[in-house]
Amino acid sequence: MRITRHRLVAMVALSALALSPAAAHAAPEASGGAQYVALGDSGAATTGAVDIDPTAPLACIRSNSNAPTLVARQLGLELDDRTCSSAKIPDLMRSQSPGVAPQLDALGPNTEIVTLHIGANDANMTRYILGGCHAGIATGGCAAAADPQWDADIDAITPAYAAALDEISRRAPQATIFVDGWPTYLGDSSCAPMLGLRDADAPYIQSKFARLNTVVAREAAAHGAIYLDTVAASPPAGMCADPAVRWFDPIIADQTLLPYHPTLAGHRGVADRIVATITSSGVLDR
């Protein structure tokens, strides 16, 4: 999901107080591509103000504790992490901002594994959630004033997402693509950390993430990728779960400073799911 510029500046100022040593990410072998390439937006890239990688492009707010890094460590893979906060699907094939190369530049014939997590920004999820549901767009809440355009925006990512999967396969013909979806953000009701979000709005928002999962799962299956369902593994109460176990920070974001973004527990949970799927796929045994 999208991170605003003023939030970026605040996060960088905070993180400068406690940066940890950067993990070494392998550069592509000449033009052959890295063994494992991670692609995506902030849902894969960042832990907010926690453990930021100072070697990554500033705009990406990439973390040394994100899911791709944890996957690489667990499986002993050489990683080229190109995930970047605020990325949209076209940013896979174009420069997202000065100093940020197209994400697909990391791919090549040597690439064996690709993970992909992208599409929420293209579907305008932040605008509908923060600008609608949390802004009190109607006295009855966003569920009561349901906007059909939200579903249309989610469905509209299909052609670009399909084309991206095909382009990944073209550039990395030996790679297996693993697509991870969006875990549980909210359960059947709201809670105090969601700062006034109405109970009915909680499952309504979650239904939109479910629709987004349906789109990417369908396209993954149609284009030779493996889809990972992360919903079942995540806490059913989502951001209203106990802070010690929740996978995402709520509006009152006390762990990452980024609402609706993964906590350390969230990245660990997604990484474990990716590792299990890669291992069971047999791709590392080839």
Catalytic residue among 25, 117, 134, 261: 261
The answer to whether 42 is a known catalytic residue is: yes
Catalytic residue among 15, 42, 63, 86: 42
Q: What does the alpha-carbon distance between residue 282 and residue 286 come to, in Å, rounded to a whole number?
A: 7
Would the CA dihedral through 52, 56, 57, 62 be positive or negative?
A: negative
Helical ranges in the chain per DSSP H: 5-15, 42-45, 67-75, 125-128, 148-155, 158-171, 201-222, 264-281
DSSP β-ladder status, 226-228 and 113-117: unpaired
Residue position matching structure tokens 């949970």: 269
Tokens encoding 105: 């530049």
DSSP three-state, residue 203: helix
Q: Which residues contact residue 197 at a Cβ distance below 8 angstroms, ignoring those fewer than 6 apart?
A: 133, 134, 190, 251
Q: Which amino acid is at 128?
A: Y
CA proximity to 102, closest of 91, 111, 113, 117 = 91
Q: Which amino acid is at 41?
A: D
Q: Say if residues 40 and 257 touch (Cβ distance below 8 Å).
A: no
- DSSP secondary structure code for residue 131 in this structure: I
Residues noted as catalytic: 42, 261
